[in-house]
Structure formats: C-alpha cells, structure tokens
Structure 1
Amino acid sequence: MADGATPGGGSCDPARPDVVLETDRLWLRPWRVAEAVVQWELWTERDPRVPPHRRIDATGHPTVAELEDLIRANQTSSIGLLAVERRADREVLGYCGLVDSGRGAEDEPELAFEMLRRFWRQGYATEASLAVLDWARSSGYERVWATVWEWNTPSRRVLAKLGFTETGRKELDVVHGTTLFTTRRL
C-alpha cells in the first residue's frame, strides 16, 4: 500500500469491528489466524504453471503453521490482501486487495485477487474487486494496475469486466508464461 495509507472507506458492520469493506454478499476484512487453512488450500489449488515459490513445495511448505505465522505478522496491515468472506454463511472464499509489488508506478497499487476454485464463476472476484476499487478511489488513488498471466483466462475476464485494459507491457517467461500488465483509471 502506498504511503502507509489506511482504510478510510467502505461500509462496516459495527458488530464486527474487523470488517473493512462490505458488499451485498461479502465482507472483506483482515485474515484471522484460524483461516490459514484456507490460504493453504489456495496454495494447493494453483495451476502448475504458477512459479514454484507460490505453490506448496515437495516438502509441504508452506505449512498451515507457517501461514498462520504470516497472518500473525501482517495483522496490522492496511487494506493489503483481505479475506473475502461470504456474509450468508461466513465462509472465506479467497482474498482480494491492494498490494505494492514494486512493479508498477509509485502511488499506483496493484489489485490482486484469488478465489478457491469451488467459488469460481459466481461473481465473487468481480464483486470483491469492485469494493476494493471503490475504496481506492475514495482514498485518492487515480489509477490501479494488475498483472495477469496470459494463460489465466478466468482472471483476464474478471479484469475486463472491471474495466482494466492491457498496457502493451509484457514480461516473457518461457517456463511460467507471459505476464500481461493491465491498468484502470479510477
């Protein structure tokens, strides 16, 4: 997150002080340690073309305990990568948020999202991302960008629905695939 910004927008349920953003169907909020198992499941589901450092390795790392430690270490982060929780049953579906990966322009965060496969094609990634983009706009950001692997058709569709356009910038990787850079004015 640029300049240590903190959440300043979004609707919050007063009975749940940890909620950061709210939509009709979702809460986007900081991760809880007990939800490391959801992060672990995300890691196990990733496409084999995803670089190895973002998948569970042959020795089983990261473990659930290691992911719990990461959640503990990041509990004070601002919008970061928030847990996406379905309001109807409080199930965590994945994550969405803004990150500063160092690959984009200064003061232009990157949108990131990932949902468990069983929740694909239900509009959750789009809905969560729209809430994050609304927050970004209300926080004074003028532009957000996102990267996506050329082969990742579902995420490319979400970005297109959100109004992101390809910039023409690409990072070629013969092993993992080409990364496309997209952007959206707020």
Structure 2
Amino acid sequence: MTARLLLRPRRVEEADVYRRLWTERDPRVPDHRRIDASGQPDLAAIAAYLRTEQEGPGLGLLAVLRKDVGDVVGYCGLVTTGNGSPEEPELAFELLSHVHGSGYATEAGGAVVAWADRAGHERLWAGVRAWNIASRRVLVKLGFRESGQVERDPVHGDSLLMVRTAGRASR
C-alpha cells in the first residue's frame, strides 16, 4: 500500500482491465504481446491465465488500484520469467494509458522495490525497450541503471536490461 495506491493479488474478475492493457500497447511491442488478428488473447483466455497465475512466495504481479476511486489501473510486481529468477526477479509494470503521467508507476514500483529489499533480494532486473522513455525514467527513479546488456531488435526496438542493487542504485 502507498499513499494513493493499493497493491494486491490480481483477480479473475479484472480480466477486462488486463485485456485493455493489451489493446493499448504500442505497435512496436512484439506481436506475441499484442492482440492478434483473431482477437487473441480474448477475455476468456486472460481470465483463464489469471486463474492459474502463480509465482514463488512473495513474487507475482499485483493489481494496482487507486484508493480514491477504487479502480484497477494496471499491474506491478516481481516475476521470474524473462530476465528474472527466484533469487533475482524482474520488476514488471504496466498501467492503463489514461493514468500515464500521474506518478502511479513510480509509486507502485517503489512499493514493490521496497518490499524486495526487505525480503532480501540483493538484485532486481528490468527489461525495457530503448524507445520506452517513460518506463526508463520510472526505472531510473527506482534506482535501476543500464547494465550494458542490450538485445538488438531492428523490428521492435532494442531491449535494454536494467539492474538495481538492494538499497541503492546499481553500480
């Protein structure tokens, strides 16, 4: 919980919010992370995924709710897929476009990073497209820095691997 936000496990009945995130994604996002020509993933597929969604103890994606309105505006959490592992998870976040620029990503990410520090995670990772300046700014505010590892992608834009060491910006 933060001053303006509540973070809690995601729920199946929120599938429509998470599908809306898929529809709002930048066209440069790789195809497997966008709605395809047949409309997949549809609401049923996202709900099915939410029913089975699991990570290790204390890990996983959390719903981000605005306290004053009570609505779910996205997710934030730690995952072991992609660049993460149970020992060094990856921070992931995504918010609906109508709340971009509100500071919610930084606020939610800060709560998750603080929890990770308290839980003893020495290092966190985050993968971000080079063109995603807003997310890169959030990560820098949270103490992440570029690791120097870049996955080149001339079609979707290079993916930067950012890293954060517990309690301070990474060296």
What TM-score comes out, normalization by structure 2 length?
A: 0.92
Amino acid at match of 1:68: A
Amino acid at match of 2:26: D
Q: 1:87 aligns with which of 46, 49, 67?
A: 67
Give the distance between the partners of 2:43 and 2:85, measured in 1 at CA: 34
Is 2:28 the partner of 1:49?
A: yes
DSSP 3-state at the match of 1:50: coil
Is 2:5 the partner of 1:34?
A: no
Give the distance between the partners of 2:103 and 2:126, measured in 1 at CA: 18
Q: Quick check: 1:95–1:115 contact (8 Å CA) kept in 2?
A: yes
Task: Count how many residue pairs are aligned between Structure 1 and Structure 2.
Answer: 165
Give the distance between the partners of 2:85 and 2:14, measured in 1 at CA: 32
- TM-superposition CA deviations, 1:97-147 (whole Å, max 9, x none): 001125356611100100001000000000000100111011111111111
Give the distance between the partners of 2:8 and 2:93, measured in 1 at CA: 13
Is 2:96 the partner of 1:116?
A: yes
Q: Quick check: 1:31–1:75 contact (8 Å CA) kept in 2?
A: no
CA drift of 1:79 comes to 3.0
The residue aligned with 2:134 is 154
Is 2:78 the partner of 1:98?
A: yes
Is 2:112 the partner of 1:132?
A: yes
Q: Quick check: 2:82–2:90 contact (8 Å CA) kept in 1?
A: no
Alpha-carbon spacing, 1:102–1:93, altered in 2? closer, same or farther (3 Å): closer
Is 2:52 the partner of 1:73?
A: yes
The residue aligned with 2:42 is 63
Give the distance between the partners of 2:88 and 2:81, measured in 1 at CA: 10
- TM-superposition CA deviations, 1:4-41 (whole Å, max 9, x none): xxxxxxxxxxxxxxxxxx11111111111111000000
Amino acid at match of 1:65: A
What TM-score comes out, normalization by structure 1 length?
A: 0.85
Q: Quick check: 1:30–1:75 contact (8 Å CA) kept in 2?
A: no
The residue aligned with 2:169 is none
Q: What is the percent sequence identity of the aligned residues?
A: 55
Give the distance between the partners of 1:144 and 1:54, measured in 2 at CA: 22
Q: Quick check: 2:124–2:165 contact (8 Å CA) kept in 1?
A: yes
CA drift of 1:75 comes to 6.2
Runs of at least 5 residues in structure 1 that lack an aligned partner in the other structure: 1-21
Please identify, of 100-109 and 161-170, the stretch whose mean Cα deviation from structure 2 is larger.
100-109
The residue aligned with 1:145 is 125
Alpha-carbon spacing, 1:71–1:104, altered in 2? closer, same or farther (3 Å): closer
Q: Quick check: 1:79–1:98 contact (8 Å CA) kept in 2?
A: yes
